[in-house]
Chain A
Amino acid sequence: MLIKDGIRMDGRKPDELRPIKIEAGVLHRAQGSCYLEWGGNKVMAAVYGPREAIPRHIQHPLKAVINARYNMVPFSVSDRKRPGPDRRSVEISKVTSEALEHVVFTGLFPRTMIDVCIEVLGAEAGTRCAGLTAAAVALADAGIPMRDLPVACAAGKIDGTVVLDLAGDEDCEGEADMPIAIAPRTEEILLMQMDGHMTYQEFEEALELALKGCREVSKLQKEALLRKYETKNEVAP
C-alpha cells in the first residue's frame, strides 16, 4: 500500500513535491556550479568551458558540443555500486546533454565543448530530474547564454493514482514513472521518458502534474540564482 486516504507513505498529497533545496555557485574552481537536494537526492553539478574540444574529431565546426556526464558516486546507494559509468549513467548523460543542447546558444561557441559534470552524492528516486535541474542552474551560473533555464520533474502512478515526484518506495513499487524536462517560459518539452504503463487519460493527468511540478521547481532555481547574485551585489563596493 503506497497511498491511503489520499496521503502517501511520506505524508505527501498526490500533487506535492518532496522538499527541495538549491544553492547556486558553490564550487570555486568550476565556471558555474549548483548543489541541490531533492528528497533523498543530493546532487552537485559543475560546468567547465566552453573550451577547445579535444580530441578534435569531436568538434562541431558551427557549434559547441554539450558533454553532460552523469555519475553516481559509489556510496550514493545503499548496496555499494561499482565505480565508473554503467549503462544507466551513459543513457542519462546522453538524454541530459540533448535536453541542454536545446536551450544553450551553442552556435556562439563553434568547435568548443561545454562539460557539465553531474555527481550524484546521494540517490533516492528521480536523480535524472535532480541532475538536469542542477545542471541548468550551474550553466546559468557559468554565464553560458541560454534561451531559458530548463527544469525537470517527474509524475507517475502508484496504486492506481497519478502522483507528482515519486519517492524511493513509490519508484520501486509504483506502476509508472514519467520524468519530463521543459523550457519553462514556453513550456516546450525538452525531455520525456516513461517507465511502466498508464492509460491515455492518466498520461494527460500525469503530464499536467509534471508541468505543475516543473513550474514550482523553476521558481526555486530562480530564487537560488537571485539569492546568490543579490548578496554578491551587496558585498561589492
Chain B
Amino acid sequence: MIEEGRLVLPGDRVAISEELQAGEGTYEHGGDIIASVAGTFTVDRKRMRAVVEPVNAGPLLLKPGDIAICEVKQITDSMVIVNILHIAGRKRRIAGSNDAVLHISNISNDYVESTGKTFRVGDIIRAKIIEVGNGIRLATKENNLGVIKAYCTQCRNPLIRKGNVLECPICERTEERKIAADYGEGNID
C-alpha cells in the first residue's frame, strides 16, 4: 500500500487486494487495487477500502439512497415524472439525463387515491433514489420526503402549510399534497 495522502493518477497501483478492497475512485485487477481517477489516496478504515478522492469534481454518479431535489414535470394516473435539480450534500452537476420516475406505489405509506392529490406539476419535491440501473426511480414514503415547495394551481402563489394541507394566501383555496415534514423551510441539502 502506498503512503496515504499521495496524489495518484488513473492506472497507478495504490494497494493489493489482500490489504484493502476497492472503494470509490479505484478498481481491482489481478490482485491489485488501482486508481481510476486523478486524486488523493486515502483509506476508509471502517470498511477497509482504498479510496481516491478526486482532485477535480468529476461527473456526479447517482446511487440508491441519494436524496434528490426535483421539479415535477408531468403527472399520469400511475406515475409522477420529475427532473432532478440537485443531489443533497453535493455540488456537482449530474451526468446524463436528469429524468426520474416516482410510481404511485412509492409515494406514501398511506393509501394514495390519485397521483394528483399528492403532487402537481411545478412542485419542488424531495425524494430518495431507489434505483438507477434501468432509469432513475424514486420514493417519497418517509416523513421528511415529499413536497418542500408548492404553488397554487390557480394563481401560482407559493402555498403555505396549514396542518395537513396547503393553503394559498391569496385565493384561500386549499390543496392536498404528500408534504415533507420541513415544508417551506427551503432545505435542499
Chain A residues in the interface with B (C-beta under 8 A): 25, 31-32, 49-52, 103, 105, 108-112, 140-149, 183-185, 222, 225-226, 229-230, 232-233
Contact A147 B38 (CB under 8 A): no
Contact B58 A148 (CB under 8 A): no
Contact B58 A229 (CB under 8 A): no
User: Does B171 belong to the interface (CB within 8 Å)?
Assistant: no
> With a CB–CB cut-off of 8 A, which chain A residues contact B34?
147-148, 185
User: Does B59 belong to the interface (CB within 8 Å)?
Assistant: yes
CA distance A112 to B38 in the complex (A): 21
Which residues of B (23-60) have their CB < 8 Å from a CB of A? 25, 27, 29, 34, 36-38, 54-59
Interface residues contributed by chain B, number (CB under 8 Å): 23
Closest 9 pairs between A and B when the two form their complex, measured CB to CB: A143-B58, A148-B11, A112-B96, A145-B36, A146-B10, A50-B95, A185-B11, A52-B97, A229-B55
* Given A145-B58, A147-B34, CB of A226 within 8 Å of CB of B96: no
Contact B9 A143 (CB under 8 A): no
CA distance A112 to B27 in the complex (A): 21
Contact partner of A149 (CB less than 8 A), chosen from B10, B25, B56, B61, is: B10
**CB of B108, distance to nearest CB on chain A (Å):** 29
**CB of B91, distance to nearest CB on chain A (Å):** 13
**CB of A226, distance to nearest CB on chain B (Å):** 6
User: Does B79 belong to the interface (CB within 8 Å)?
Assistant: no
* Given A142-B58, A144-B59, A147-B10, CB of A51 within 8 Å of CB of B95: yes
